[in-house]
Structure 1
Amino acid sequence: MSMPPDATPHARPASTTGKPPSSAARYLFVFLLGLVLGVVAVVMLLRTLEARKTWQDHYPEAAMHLLSAHSAQLRDALQANRCAPTDVLPHLQAMRMLGNDLEPAFADLRDDTRFADHAGKFRGAIDSALASPPMNCAGLKATTDAIGEDCKACHRDFRG
């Protein structure tokens, strides 16, 4: 069983011009392939370094975002003239629960007496609002102002 000479497995395909491919084209292909792989490797390395740098505790930031969201809901209720206790109490209760998390969230400030004082005043303002809930928009305005002043005082001392 003999095979025809053009069907051998080791035979090179004939090019259309009859010349073998130049080595410059091969070098260019290998260079471009190396360039693409290098760019991919650099992007992966930079993303890894960025992820390592941003890997931190999000607990303090999340607590502040939640407090901010609930206080924004109270402001929106005030602007919409929806100041009934049923509209206000859920947000005040959530803010009170988050107030319990202030010291654990900011562990580096836990032993600072000024921070403990601010956290206590914040919880105290919300406790008084929960003890006698605001029944109208004037009461809600006074409550949100008192809570906002406590927040501003703490931010003034600790956020710089």
Structure 2
Amino acid sequence: MSTPPDTTSHAGPASHAGKPHSAAVRYLFVFGLGLVLGVVAVVMLLRALEARKTWQDHYPKATMHLLSAHSAQLRDALQANRCAATDVLPHLQALRVLGNDLEPAFADLRDDTRFATHAGKFRGAIDSALASPPLNCAGLKTTTEAIGADCKACHRDFRG
């Protein structure tokens, strides 16, 4: 004779081993999963719409940030008394390259003669500094003041 299988579980009375899940638990799980996926989809959609709506050209701001950063490096070199041409020339060269980007960065001002004049004066000041680089802090101070004056004149006319 065979003995009936042991129906006592070692997992304790709270174990659901062998009991099928009710339909309500399955529906609740699917509802929760759908809710989480729906929230994720809505957030992704809203961010895509916001990015599309607020898309703008970063070229003008990036150009100005880089010009500002290299000008700040020149001012820092002046304050740190590191005015040798080897410390100054890389930043002057970067400013000159960025000066070539002024008209393309500000396409709406490209045809304005005042803007073209300011951009030309800016490039001219840097060209003269590159032609005879400042060899001491007094020369660097004069150079940074000339470049700063050109920047301020343009900002006065176009930033308001």
TM range (shorter): 0.7 to 0.9
Whole-angstrom CA distance in 1 between matches of 2:25 and 2:86: 76
Q: Which 4+ residue blocks in structure 1 deviate beyond 3 angstroms?
A: 15-27, 53-56
- Name the CA shift for 1:98/1:16 in 2 (closer, same or farther; >3 Å): closer
Alignment of 1:135-146 (within 5 A): 135-146=135-146
Query: Number of matched residues?
Result: 146
Give the alignment of 1:1-160 within 5 angstroms: 16=16, 21-160=21-160
Shift of the 73–16 alpha-carbon distance from structure 1 to 2, 3 Å rule, reads: closer
Q: CA RMSD in A?
A: 2.3
Q: How much does 1:124 deviate?
A: 1.7
Q: What is the TM-score normalised by the length of structure 2?
A: 0.78
| TM-score calculated relative to the size of structure 1 | 0.78
Structure 2, unpaired ranges of 5+:
1-14
Specify the code of the residue in structure 1 equivalent to 2:123. R
Q: Deviations over 1:23-67 (max 9, x none)?
A: 543443233122111101111102212332354333222222221
Letter in 2 for 1:95: L
Aligned counterparts of 1:16 and 1:128: Cα–Cα separation in 2: 86
* Amino acid paired to 1:105: A
- Deviation of 1:16 after TM superposition, in Å, equals 4.7
Letter in 2 for 1:158: F
Q: Deviations over 1:84-129 (max 9, x none)?
A: 1222122112211211111111111101122112111211211222
Q: Which residue of 1 aligns with 2:5?
A: none
Going from structure 1 to structure 2, the CA distance change for 1:76 and 1:16 (only over 3 Å counts) comes to closer
CA distance 1:88–1:21, shift in 2 (3 Å): closer
Instruction: Quote the offset at 1:22 in angstroms.
Output: 4.7
SS in 2 for 1:149: helix
